[in-house]
């Protein structure tokens, strides 16, 4: 019995360590996590992306993916921005700029750029997600979210997200 318990303890310890290491920190000086997104970063303002700070990336990452989406959209998940093959050494994405070296895909506005929050009514949650992958992705620049999700499958080493809200005024 003791060898089995010992093996289980080692196995459980490994799982805990993997989970602890799999969380990327995503922050912005523009607003607080869980807070309100300033109009500047929405369709009611300049419609530019906020600066994002990224920390705790795994050393073995070969590329990063950025996804900004709204799960509260009337027709379901709405994608505002997708970027892949971002340099895994990236720790800062500047305001009103695409990540260096990244490929911008087609968002649900039909554009290959950032599209800020623009809910038709009520308050919506917006998630700024970073994924560290064990590979670079072979996708056409015109790829959409479903293509990106499929290509990322089984390649995610770690992920993190920042959530904030916006209400259309």
* pLDDT tens digits for range 119-146: 999 999 999 999 999 999 999 999 999 9
pLDDT band at 16 (very low <50, low <70, confident <90, very high): very low
Could you report the per-residue pLDDT of 32-50, keeping only the tens digit for each?
999 999 999 999 999 999 9
Q: What is the pTM of this model?
A: 0.87
Q: Where are the domains of the chain?
A: 24-167
Could you report the per-residue pLDDT of 48-107, keeping only the tens digit for each?
999 999 999 999 999 999 999 999 999 999 999 999 999 999 999 999 999 989 999 999
What DSSP line would sit under the chain, residue for residue?
Answer: -HHHHHHHHHHHHHHHHHHHHTB-EEE-SSS-TTSBPPGGGSTTTT--PPPEEEE---TT--EEEEEEEETTSTTS-EEEEEEEEE-TT--EE-TT-PPTT-EE---TTS-SS------SSSEEEEEEEEEEESS-----TT--HHHHHHHHTT-EEEEEEEEEEEE--
Fold observed for domain 24-167: Phosphatidylethanolamine-binding Protein (3.90.280)
């Amino acid at each position: 019995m003791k060898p089995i318990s010992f093996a289980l303890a080692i196995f459980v310890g490994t799982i805990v360590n993997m989970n602890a290491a799999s969380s990327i920190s995503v922050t912005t000086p523009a607003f607080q996590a869980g807070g309100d997104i300033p109009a500047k970063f929405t369709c009611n303002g300049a419609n530019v992306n906020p600066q994002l700070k990224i920390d705790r990336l795994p050393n073995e990452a070969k590329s990063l993916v950025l996804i900004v989406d709204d799960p509260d959209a009337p027709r379901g998940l709405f994608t505002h921005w997708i970027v892949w093959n971002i340099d895994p050494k990236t720790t800062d994405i500047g305001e009103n700029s695409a990540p260096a070296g990244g490929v911008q895909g087609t968002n649900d506005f039909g554009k290959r750029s950032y599209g800020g929050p623009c809910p038709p009514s009520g308050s919506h949650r917006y998630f700024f997600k970073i994924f560290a992958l064990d590979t670079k992705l072979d996708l056409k620049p015109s790829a959409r979210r479903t293509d990106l999700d499929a290509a990322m499958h089984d390649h995610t080493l770690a992920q993190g997200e920042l959530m904030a809200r916006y209400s259309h005024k």
